[in-house]
Structures are given as structure tokens and as C-alpha cells.
Amino acid sequence: MKQQHTLNLLVLIQFSFFTFLTTNAHANYNTSSIEQLVQNGQLQVQIQGIGGHSEECVSFILRNNTSDSLFGFVEPGRRLISNNIKEQDILIVKELDFALAANESKTMNGFGFCCQSNNSGPGTSSGFSLGKMADDNWQTLAQKVNEGDYPANAIQNAVWVLSDGHDIRSIPAYGDENTQDLRQSVADMLGIEIPWYSFLYEEDSTQVFSGVANRLFAQVAYTVPRRTMMSGIIHDENGNLVYSFKSYHTSMGEHKYNIDIALDNFEEGEYTFTLMEDFGVMNLQRKFQLGEEV
């Protein structure tokens, strides 16, 4: 009984040790990138889709070819190339550290997002090569995501802004300070001014991104000197009133006005959103554009 207890303890210690190594490999041990380990013949790698085109969407099947422990990592900013030219490549945005005992095999999931919006999403049988490190802006975005905490939808759209030239207004602009920070970072990379609003796009079962904006949403900060009736209105470029928001009373001080409207009845062109106090005093105005990409 004592011998069995000792054996179980040794197994537990070994398991705990390698768990520690796996989670701390890159920070505390001499590690190499997955590409270097493969090139050196130390590591065998197979990459395949696990369903979906975002977040944990690929698996790395790893095998240590050596008789020694192996420590490595998959870098944020690595672009995995699909074996099927009709399916999207995957941009890894979270670092994946791994530790393998001698001759050990292990499967680990990678965290990434598709980066070819005109292609179909990968399936569970999709295969990928290790590819290469992406362009500088892509790597900057991936590193930011790796170090931060952002909604998956915001990350995916940020990736597509860089990879496919999508409108930056596809990155949500509503309430979440982290997402606002992500939008600003992408705008800085592109050298453009960040829009005050963003779009939601129609879903299409035949493709991962429809490109058809069907809602506009934003959050606008404003201040009033007293209890006030607030009214939001939208005019087209000819001065015609085309939309009125429900009016409501608000207290003195700083507030945020939420905008969320369907675009079904709006045509392409420039529009002006105006926030009114007591139906007669303009508090603020913002212009927005439909149809022209930013």
C-alpha cells in the first residue's frame, strides 16, 4: 500500500510539473517558435480545423521527435495557410505555449480568426500549414489582442479591416471602452480618423460576411445644465427630417445618448444626427455617411 501511494505521488508530481511547464514555458524556459522546432526536425505538427472561423477554431497536433523535453510556442500574428484555396486562412491572435516530454504527443487548440472574408469558413476536416508571420500591422493587432480582453466580434471585424479592407465602421462602437481602444488602434494603423458610429451587417448563411450594413449604432456623450427633455432627430443631406427618436427627460449633468436604428429605409448619402433640448435648443450634431466606405 505504501509503495502504491509513493507511485501515485510521483505520477502526480510529474503531471503537476509538466502542467506548470506548459503554462509557463515561454516565460521561464528556453523555448523556440513552433516553426523553428519543425525546421530543426524536433517537432512534428499537424493543424486542422475544429469547426467555426473564430476563437478556438484550430487544433495543433504536436509530437516531440526527440528523447528530451521540448518547450515551444505559437506566436500571435502567425498566419496559418489553408490547404483549400476556397477556405479562409487563420490569423493566430493568442500565444499558445506548449511543453512536451520526450517522445510525447499532445493536441492543443489555437485561438485565431479568419482573415479572408470572401472565402468560406473552415470545417472540422480542414487542414492548414504553419504558414508565416503576417505583415507588421497584423502582428501589432494580434499582439494587442493577446495582451487585452476584447469581444470576439470586435476582433474578427478588426482582422478583416486589415486583411480585406473592410470598413472600420464594422468594428463595434458602443459602450465598451476596450472595444473603443481596439477601434482607435486600428484607425491609427491605417492613419484615419475614427468614426463616432459603427454598423451591424446582415447575416448570410452562404458566406461569413455579407458586407450589407443593416443597422447603425453609437453612443454619444452629452451634458445638460438642468432637467431637460432630450430629442434625437436625423435629417438627410437635403434637410428633410427622416427619423425621430423617442423623447425623454434626463437630469442635470453628463449623460450618454444611445443610438440603434435599422437602415432599411435609408438611402446612400450624408445624414445629420441632432440632439435637441426641450425641442428647441441644439445640444450637439454629428454627421454620418451611408454607402461610402471609410
10-residue mean pLDDT profile of the chain (294 residues): values are 49 45 52 96 96 91 97 98 95 97 97 93 91 96 96 94 95 82 95 93 83 92 96 97 97 96 94 96 96 71
**pLDDT of the residue at 51:** 85
**pLDDT of the residue at 22:** 45
> CA 95 to CA 110: how far, in whole Å?
8
Angle formed at CA 62 by CA 51 and CA 83, multiple of 5 degrees:
50
DSSP secondary structure code for residue 42 in this structure: S
- In our burial notation (b when 16+ CB lie closer than 10 A, e otherwise), range 23-49 reads eebbeeeebbbbbebbeeebbebebbb
In the chain, residues under CATH classification 2.60.40.2550 are 213-290
**pLDDT of the residue at 81:** 97
**pLDDT of the residue at 125:** 83
**pLDDT of the residue at 3:** 52
> CA 113 to CA 93: how far, in whole Å?
7
- Residue type for 240, please? N
> CA 156 to CA 150: how far, in whole Å?
10
**pLDDT of the residue at 115:** 95
**pLDDT of the residue at 14:** 47
**pLDDT of the residue at 173:** 75
Fold of the CATH domain 213-290: Immunoglobulin-like (2.60.40)
Element (H, E) at 12: helix 2-28
